[in-house]
Amino acid sequence: MGLKEFSSKVWVGAVLFSIVNVFMYYSIGKFWIGGSSFLPLIGSQVQKFLFPLVVNAGVVVGTFLAALLTREFIIRKPTSDIVKRSILGGFLMGIGVTLAPGTCSTPFVTGMPMLGVNSFLSVIGIVIGAYIGYRWVGRK
């Protein structure tokens, strides 16, 4: 098994993600967060969320580098139907992440391991919402 194949195993990624997440908390007292980190882009809480915004800029650069190195980087143009769904979906995501901050990918990778009650509630809501979306998309 080559390095490329090994690194694509879900358990390998989960172990590495966890180690980096804990090391980040240990070394600088911060951890990865998702949705709220983009509040500075709409001029809200710039100072508070500048750090996570920079982290997520790094995430995009990291994925770009990984995709480039593994020759998985391809520009993919969407169809107009996908663009419409992306706009609606993105808009709903924007509401979700801001209405109760910490409700995004964060509760799965950071919030639940932090044992926050709010994160467990968010996961319940996300699963319900994703199921509604799944049924809705399936009907179309």
Partner 1 sequence: MTLAQPTLLLGFLFGVVFGFIVQRMSFCVSTDLAQAFAGNPRRILTWLTIIFIITGAGFVYLGPKAVGQLRGYGIYNIISGIFFGVGIVLSGGCVLGTLRRMGEGFLHSWVVFVSWLPGMALVVYVLNPILQGTYHIPEKMPLLSDVLHISNWAAYALVAVVLLVMTCWAYRKK
Scanning residues 117 to 136, which ones bind partner 1 (CB under 8 A)? 117-134, 136
Can you tell me the distance from the alpha carbon of 66 to that of 92, in angstroms, rounded to the nearest whole number?
Answer: 29
Residue count, binding to partner 1 (CB under 8 A):
113
Would you give the binding string for partner 1 spanning residues 1-30, x where CB under 8 A is met? ------xxxxxxxxxxxxxxxx-xxxxx-x
Q: How far is the CB of 96 from partner 1 (least distance, A)?
A: 3
Tokens of 83: 């663009």
Q: For partner 1, which residue of 2, 55, 71, 139 counts as binding (CB under 8 A)? A: 55
CA proximity to 89, closest of 26, 14, 15, 140? 140
CB atoms within 10 A of CB 139: 6
71: helix, strand or coil? coil
**Nearest to partner 1 of 1, 95 (CB atom):** 95
Least separation in angstroms between residue 55's CB and partner 1 is 4
Exposure string of 125-135, with b = 16+ CB inside 10 Å and e = fewer, is ebeeeeeeeee
CB of 31 to partner 1, least distance (A): 7
Q: State the minimum distance, in angstroms, from the CB of residue 49 to partner 1.
A: 10
Q: How far apart are CA 36 and CA 99, in angstroms?
A: 10
Binding to partner 1 (CB under 8 A) within 57-116 occurs at 57-67, 70, 72-78, 82-83, 85-116
